[in-house]
Copies of this chain bind each other. A is one copy, B any other.
Amino acid sequence: MDFSSKLLENAVNEMSQLPGIGKRTALRLVLHLLKQPTPQTEALAESLQQMRAKVNFCDNCHNISDNPLCEICASHNRNERIVCVVEDIRDVMAIEATSQYRGHYHVLGGKISPMDGIGPMDLNINSLVNKVKEGRVDEIIFALSSTMEGDTTNFYVFRQIEAYKVTTSTIARGISVGDELEYADEVTLGRSIVNRIPFENSLKNS
């Protein structure tokens, strides 16, 4: 791509570093900004700079937070002895949106993935193990993606904490609510039969 302006080229190159944004999309976004009044670009640039410079992670659960403790960890209405282990803050937001969970979280910051060069030391695993060691947790709920990396991470964390007195559970895998049975994959359908629940329980959340 030949650009008629170095400034434009720089902006497009930086924009196309973002995941899923190619050169063409980057050019479209940048030209859009050029058509808008200057304050919009200023606001975008400043919000990114502010966020990167001042962002803070909760000391307890590693969720993104403006204070040393995030709102969830600081709340008195939540059970700090139940900890849901998730991959990143998007998962916290997704679970919070269900309004079904009143415990704490622990954000690992990723999954163990040797292919991407991410090992256990790159994740917030030690602080979780310490919480368990110190007897501050009754139950650990594993809520990672159901992929090979997710399962590996679950298992790694499980091995670290199994010596201590703590209940471990994992979120239920099964057919999505509203899904047709015939289109479900075999593994999911198989698991949903093996891990069937008493019928009365299924009435509670509906």
The chain A residues found within 8 Å of chain B, CB to CB, are: 1-8, 10-11, 13-15, 17-21, 25, 27-34, 38, 40-56, 58, 63-66, 70-72, 88-90, 92-93, 96-97
Contacts and interface: CB of A to CB of B under 8 A. Distances in A.
Nearest to A48: B45
A23 to B, nearest CB: 11
B18 A29 contact: yes
A47 B89 contact: no
A56 to B, nearest CB: 8
A41 B45 CA distance: 9
A55 B32 CA distance: 13
B41 A7 contact: no
Contact of A51 (B10, B20, B63): B10
Contacts of A43: 14
Contact of A17 (B40, B52, B72): B40
Given A41-B48, A50-B7, A31 B88 contact: yes
Given A4-B92, A34-B64, 7 more contacts: A4-B70, A7-B66, A8-B64, A11-B48, A17-B44, A33-B51, A42-B49
A24 to B, nearest CB: 8
Contacts of A4: 58, 63-65, 70-72, 89, 92-93
A90 B19 contact: no
B47 A11 contact: yes
Identify which of A7, A11, A30, A96 gathers the most chain B CB atoms within 10 Å of its CB.
Answer: A7
A43 to B, nearest CB: 5
